Amino acid sequence: MGIYFLWRLGMVIVILASFALFVFIYNKVTKHIHPMQKYDVQVQKRRDS
């Protein structure tokens, strides 16, 4: 039972770590993309006017 409990605990830690890493990378990526989206919107407005 002890080994099974440790294995389950390890699985939970791996899942939480991968989820945290995904959120961290997602936040970095969206911060990099966001200014570009604002720039694209400004360019489109200039083209329309």
Residue partners of 4: CB distance under 8 A and separation at least 6: none
Q: Is the pLDDT of residue 16 over 90?
A: yes
15 band by pLDDT with thresholds 50, 70 and 90: very high
**Domain count within the chain:** 1
Cα Rg of the chain, angstroms = 21
Domain interval for residue 23: 1-49
Give the sign of the dihedral formed by CA 34, CA 35, CA 39, CA 41.
positive
pTM, full prediction: 0.51
Torsion angle (degrees, nearest 10) of CA 18, 22, 25, 29:
160
14 band by pLDDT with thresholds 50, 70 and 90: very high
What mean pLDDT comes out for the span 3-8? 93
